[in-house]
Amino acid sequence: MYKPKILVVEDDPAITNLIRTTLDTQEYQYHTAKNGAEALLDAVSYNPDVIILDLGLPDMDGVEIIHKVRGWSMVPIIVVSARSEDQDKVEALDAGADDYLTKPFSIDELLARLRVALRRSRAEEGAAQTQSSIYRNGGIVIDYAAGCVYMEGNEVHLTPIEYKLLCVLAKNTGKVLTHNYILKEVWGSVLASDTPSLRVFMATLRKKIEKNPSDPKYIQTHIGVGYRMIRQ
């Protein structure tokens, strides 16, 4: 059975040991790097399935590493940082990170994020192989070719903006998308004044696809950051 390979980029020995012990208990393969230079070399030579990346490294900012890795690879990147400011998370996600954890974090939370990243990676590989024009996630079915959406077998009538929103979220299932990313993909521009409109359209979309819009099962809100489509 294949054991996923995790690259851990962290300069704090205590955090590194915590992550290593956690990965050992789950029998993941892993490799560690203490700085940005090592991380970039290992990202190529080790060919990891997921990168766990600390933003505050001694020689290079983590966001710079994300930009460089995204130049050649779409490997899932989970950012781990002591920075709790939303702007830092947004910057890392806009650079191409898939998810984030704020220190201190629990072992269970780390493992849950790892599982999401690995599932997303496998789903993308499968989609690349099949080139399917049908998206399925729980009760949601999107027929991209026909431009139709079904919920539990019943067609859902969406406005053009709602349909675009759903498609952007679906094509990035499991990944946290920032407000700026969604605005650019759906509206073609990024204006702070458009964010309230995005929230309104997200609310109307939820009413159409969620059984309980106040406790959403599919579209998760990351306050101050953005949204994520959850794999069911």
Tokens standing for residue 105: 């974090």
Quote the crossing angle between the two packed helices 13-25 and 107-130, to the nearest 10°.
Answer: 60
H or E element: which one contains 137?
strand 134-137
54 three-class SS: strand
DSSP string spanning 150-174?
A: EETTEEE---HHHHHHHHHHHHTTT
Helix (H) or strand (E) holding 134: strand 134-137
Residue percentage of the chain with pLDDT more than 70: 94
User: In this predicted model, what pLDDT tens digit does every residue of 82-102 receive, in sequence order?
Assistant: 766 778 888 999 999 999 988
Contact present, 59 and 36 (Cβ < 8 Å): yes
Strand partners, 227: 177, 221
The CATH fold of domain 5-125: Rossmann fold (3.40.50)
pLDDT per residue as tens digits for the range 155-187? 999 998 999 999 999 989 989 999 989 998 888
Length reported for the chain: 232
Tell me if residue 1 falls in helix, strand or coil. coil
- Phi first, then psi: give them for residue 190, nearest 5 degrees: -125, 100
The first and second tokens of residue 139, run together, are 């009760």
Query: What value does the mean pLDDT of the chain take?
Result: 88
The one-letter amino acid at 140? I
Regions of the chain with pLDDT less than 70? 83-84, 123-132, 192
pLDDT of residue 23: 94
Strands 77-81 and 50-54: parallel
Query: What are the sequence ranges of the domains in the chain?
Result: 5-125, 132-229
132-229 adopts what CATH topology? Arc Repressor Mutant, subunit A (1.10.10)
pLDDT of residue 129: 45
Helix axes 195-209, 160-171, angle to 10 degrees: 80
